[in-house]
Structure 1
Amino acid sequence: MKTFNTADVVYADRTDYWRHAISQTFVPLESTYAGSERNGILQAGVWGDLRLSEVSCSAQEVIRGRKGADNNPDNMILLSFVSQGKTSAVQGGNHASLSQGEFALYDTRFPYELHLDGETRQHVVQISKDHLSQRVGKTEHLVANAFGKQHPLMPFLQMLLNNLMTLPEDISLKYAAMLHEQFLELLTSVIADECSNRSQAKTYHGLLFQMKIMINQRLADPALTAATIADAFGISSRYLNMLLKKDGTSFGRYVLNQRLTKAADALHSPLHRATPISQIAWRSGFSDMPHFSREFRARFGCSATEYRQQSSEPVQTVQKY
C-alpha cells in the first residue's frame, strides 16, 4: 500500500507535496489549504479492479480544472465517502453537501471542485465508468449528489471500505473480484433506492435510470420483454422505447448489449474461469447458443473461447499499486 504523509516533509513544502500526492493517486488536481494547518495522510491500495484510498487532511480546496480534464481524459468515476467532517462536491451545475455517512460521485473527465471543511476523513474509490454505466446507464445526472443518508445498507458499505484497507494487496484475483462485485452491488442498490425516492425519479433521466436498473436485474430471464418492464412502471411499451430512443438505443439493442457485456465480464473474471461458456451464456439471458456465438463474435471480433483465452491472467495474484 502506498502512503503519503505531510508529517514527513517540512511545513513550507507541504502544499506542493500534498498536491503531488493526490495528483499521483487520482488525477491531476490543484489544491490549496484553507488555513494555517497543512496536514494530510493518504493511503492507497489496489485489489484487482478495486482502487481505494483513505484520506485524512485539514481544510482545503481541491479543483479539477478544465485544462486538466481535457489533457487527461480518464475514464474514471470517483466516489467520496465521508467518515469524519464535512465535504462539498460541485460538478455539472450540481452541488452536494456531505456529512458523516454520505457519499457523492464525480466524473474525472470533467471539471469539479471539492471543498473540505475542517479536519476530514474519507474513503475515495476509483470506479471504472464502464463498470458503473453497465449497471446504471448514463451517469451524468448522478454526479455531485449526496447519497446514503440513513440508508440501511450504508453501514455495510462503510464496513467493506474499512475492512478493505486492512487487506494485503496480494490477495487472490478470485477474492478481489468477489469484493469488487459486492461493492458495486451495494453501491448500485443505494443509488437506485434513493433515486426512486426523489423527485428526479419522475423526470426523463430518473425514469430511464430506474428502468435500466430493472432491466439489468432481469437480464438472466430469456423471456424479458419491453412490456414486462413497461408494466412495472405503469407506462406503455411505446413510451418506454421512446425514452430509450432519446438515449440513443432501443429496448432490444440495450438488452443485447447488456447481456453480451455481462457474458464478457464473466469470461474475463477469475470467479468464472471454470464455468462452462454455455452456462455463462444462459446466466446472461441467452437461450440459443448459436445466436449467442454469432452476436458475441460480431460485438468482440472473436469467439467466446478466444475471448476467455485472451483475458486469462498469467499470474494468480493482484499486482501491487
Structure 2
Amino acid sequence: MRALHFRSTEEVAPDQRARYWRDSVHQSVVEMDLVPTEPHEFFGRIELCPLARIVPFQVQGSPQRVSRDPVEIARGDKNAYYLISQPLGAWRIRHAGHDHLVQPGESVLVDSRIPYEFVFGAGLDDLSVEMPIGWLERWIPDPARLIGRPLQATGGWGLALRGAKEALVPRALARLPLPDELVEDQLGALLALASGCERLDARVPRGPFERGVEAIRARLSEPGLVASDIARDSGVSLRSLHRAFAAHQHTFAGTLMQVRIDEAARLMVERRFRHLTIAEIGRRCGFLDGSHFARQFRRLRHVGPRDFRASAGL
C-alpha cells in the first residue's frame, strides 16, 4: 500500500486550530495565508497520498480565504503547479490576472510562483494534485495560457479529466494496485487533451439570473448577504438583477433562502460532515439564529432539521 498522510485540527485545542491549520498546510503543500471567515468552531483536515512524481491530496474545512503573496513566494523553498477543483461546491479564484467563479467539478491550473487568492465561501471540500514544474511542462509545453482559467467539466475530454481527477481521492489511491507511473501518465494525458482540444471559457452563455444564482451559492455562508452584493458579482444593476429573477418566477430573497436550505440539507446527509452540529450547519449556511434556521428548514422541507438528519441515519 502507498503511504497515506493525514493531519486534522481535531488533534489540537479549539483556540489553537487556526494556527495549527496554517502550519499544516505550509508543511504539506506550500506557504500561504489562510483566514477563516467563521473563526468559531473552525476545522480543517488534509490527506495526501504521494506518488512517484505527483501528490494528490484532499482538503476539507470551514469557509476560508486562502492567498499567497510575493513575500510568501520569495520566502518559500518549493514551487509547483496545482490542479485544483471542488467536486460539489463553487469557489472563487483570482490568479494571473483572472477572476472566476469556478463551478463544481471544474479544474483550475495554479502556478505557485504567481500570487493568488481563493475564496471558499461555502466551505472547503477540495481535491488537488501537486505537479512538479518539469513534469507538467512535459505534458503542456505552454501552461501560461491555462493558468487561472477553469477547464470545462461537463463534456468531452474535460469530463474525462474530471472523472480521473476525482478518482484520485487519497484513501482510495492508497489501495489502488496500479503502478504510480500509470496513474500519473493517465492524468497528464487527460490534462493535455482537455486543455488542447477544448476552447477555454467556451461556456454556455449565462444570463443575469444564472450568474446571480451562482454568486448566491458561492456566498451563501455570509449572514448579511443582500441583493446589491449579488448584482455587483453578476455584473448587472440591482434593478436588472431583480427583473431577471422575476422573469424566472423567482425573487432574490426566496432564491437565497432556498439555496441556503438546500446546502444545509446536503451537509446534514453527508457522512463526512456528521461531526457538525445542527447549529453549526445553520451558521455555515448563513443563519445566525438557530430557531430561524429551524423554521425556514421546516417551511421548505416540511420536516425539522433534526428529524431530517435522523432519517439519513446520522
Q: Please, what TM-score do these two structures have when normalized by structure 2?
A: 0.58
Distance 2:200 2:75 in 1: 36
- 1:28 is aligned to 31
- 2:80 is aligned to 76
Contact 1:151–1:190 under 8 Å retained in 2: no
Q: Which runs of 5+ in 2 are unaligned?
A: 204-314
Aligned equivalent of 1:120, options 116, 119, 124: 124
Q: Aligned in 2, Cα 1:102/1:196: closer, same or farther, shift over 3 Å?
A: closer
Q: How does 1:135-174 map to 2 (within 5 A)?
A: 135-164=139-168, 165=170, 166-168=172-174
Contact 1:84–1:120 under 8 Å retained in 2: no
- 1:89 is aligned to 93
- 2:180 is aligned to 176
- 1:43 is aligned to 47
Contact 1:34–1:61 under 8 Å retained in 2: yes
Describe the SS at the equivalent of 1:90: strand
Contact 2:150–2:200 under 8 Å retained in 1: no
Q: Which amino acid aligns with 2:116?
A: Y
Q: Aligned in 2, Cα 1:150/1:118: closer, same or farther, shift over 3 Å?
A: same
Distance 1:189 1:74 in 2: 27
Q: Which runs of 5+ in 1 are unaligned?
A: 200-321
Aligned: 1:54 with 2:53: no
Q: Aligned in 2, Cα 1:17/1:196: closer, same or farther, shift over 3 Å?
A: closer
Distance 1:121 1:46 in 2: 19
Contact 1:56–1:120 under 8 Å retained in 2: yes
- 2:10 is aligned to 7
Q: Please, what TM-score do these two structures have when normalized by structure 1?
A: 0.56
Q: Aligned in 2, Cα 1:196/1:93: closer, same or farther, shift over 3 Å?
A: closer
Q: Aligned in 2, Cα 1:170/1:48: closer, same or farther, shift over 3 Å?
A: farther
RMSD: 2.3
Report Cα offsets for 1:99-148 as digits up to 9, x if no partner. 21111111111211111111231111111222222232222232111112
Contact 2:85–2:127 under 8 Å retained in 1: yes
Deviation at 1:179, TM superposition (A): 0.8
Report Cα offsets for 1:192-250 as digits up to 9, x if no partner. 12336759xxxxxxxxxxxxxxxxxxxxxxxxxxxxxxxxxxxxxxxxxxxxxxxxxxx
Identity level (%): 19
Aligned: 1:190 with 2:190: no
Distance 1:186 1:66 in 2: 31
Distance 1:111 1:176 in 2: 30
Distance 1:5 1:186 in 2: 31
Describe the SS at the equivalent of 1:180: helix
Q: Aligned in 2, Cα 1:19/1:148: closer, same or farther, shift over 3 Å?
A: same
Describe the SS at the equivalent of 1:195: coil
Distance 1:178 1:169 in 2: 15
Describe the SS at the equivalent of 1:46: coil
Contact 2:32–2:69 under 8 Å retained in 1: yes
- 2:19 is aligned to 16
How many residues of Structure 1 are paired with residues of Structure 2 in the alignment?
197
Deviation at 1:65, TM superposition (A): 1.2
Deviation at 1:41, TM superposition (A): 1.5
Contact 2:157–2:197 under 8 Å retained in 1: no
- 2:113 is aligned to 109
Q: Aligned in 2, Cα 1:85/1:136: closer, same or farther, shift over 3 Å?
A: same
Greater gyration radius: 1
Contact 2:30–2:79 under 8 Å retained in 1: no
Distance 1:84 1:38 in 2: 20
Q: Aligned in 2, Cα 1:180/1:34: closer, same or farther, shift over 3 Å?
A: same
Q: Aligned in 2, Cα 1:85/1:170: closer, same or farther, shift over 3 Å?
A: closer
Q: Which amino acid aligns with 2:24?
A: A
Q: Which amino acid aligns with 1:2?
A: H
Report Cα offsets for 1:10-65 as digits up to 9, x if no partner. 21111101101111111111101011341212101101112010011111011111
Distance 1:184 1:154 in 2: 13
Q: How does 1:253-272 map to 2 (within 5 A)?
A: none
Distance 2:89 2:41 in 1: 15
Distance 1:149 1:170 in 2: 24
Which of the two has greater strand per residue?
1
Q: How does 1:274-293 map to 2 (within 5 A)?
A: none
